[in-house]
Amino acid sequence: MISHRLLSVLSALLLATGAVQGVRGGWIHAKARLAQVLLHRSWERTQAGGVEEKPWPWADTWPVARLILPGGREHIVLAGATGRNLAFAPGHLDGSSEPGGDGTCVIAGHRDTHFAHLDSLAKGQAVVLEDAAGRRRIYRVVATVIVDERGTWVITDNDRPTLVLITCWPLDSPLPGGTQRYVVWAEAEDR
């Protein structure tokens, strides 16, 4: 009888834990998706108005680019690759070249949300980056590499405009905080 009751409690506890963890995990994904909805609106306003439109009134960041990956997946990119921003959208690394600039533009994203399929990018595929003025530039993937987090040479300037996409590696690892990064290089097409 006691064991029956104990099992009831245990089962309830486990189900509750499952629910909590499910919400926690689902929340990260929901946040990533919901934010993109808001960001798309603020992006349209940014492009229409030519000013940095904040996606929500108290945000300390703003959309700086639209990233279009093969297969039509697209993401609005926020200014600053900070932890808070990456929860909502891929982030543009401060100090790297501006989207549409001549240097190396670095965009980081989460491997389990926005950049979950980064490894499907193959050499030669096109990645499009649209800046706030609506100018689009086509980049071709030239290489992918796995580096240690300290391998910062991957984001140095190249002699051509370059787009570098970064996410955590391994892509399917359930644990956060690894020391390896998956990096995609794409060079601007000749115009």
Per CB under 8 A, contacts with another protein among 33-52 are 34-35, 37-38, 41
Using CB under 8 A as the binding rule, whether residue 113 contacts another protein is answered as: yes
- Minimum distance, C-beta of residue 117 to another protein, in the bound complex (Å): 13
Q: Of residues 53, 112, 130, 131, which one binds another protein by CB under 8 A?
A: 112
- Minimum distance, C-beta of residue 94 to another protein, in the bound complex (Å): 5
> Which of 136/179 has CB closer to another protein?
179
Long-range CB contacts (within 8 A, 24+) of 89-92: 89/32, 89/35, 89/36, 89/39, 89/63, 89/114, 90/114, 90/115, 90/165, 91/61, 92/64, 92/65
Residues touching another protein: how many (CB under 8 A)? 92
- Minimum distance, C-beta of residue 125 to another protein, in the bound complex (Å): 13
Neighbouring residues of 35: CB distance < 8 A, sequence distance ≥ 6 = 55, 87, 88, 89
DSSP of 28-80? HHHHHHHHHHHHHHHHHHHHHH-S---SSTT-S--EEEEEE-GGG-EEEEEES
Using CB under 8 A as the binding rule, whether residue 4 contacts another protein is answered as: yes
- Minimum distance, C-beta of residue 72 to another protein, in the bound complex (Å): 22
> Which of 49/136 has CB closer to another protein?
49
Alpha-carbon distance of 154 to 93, in angstroms, equals 13
Q: Tell the residue number behind the tokens 């609005």, with chain if given.
A: 76
DSSP state of 98: P
Contacting another protein within 70-89 (CB under 8 A):
80-84, 86-88
- Minimum distance, C-beta of residue 66 to another protein, in the bound complex (Å): 19
Contacting another protein within 140-159 (CB under 8 A):
142-159
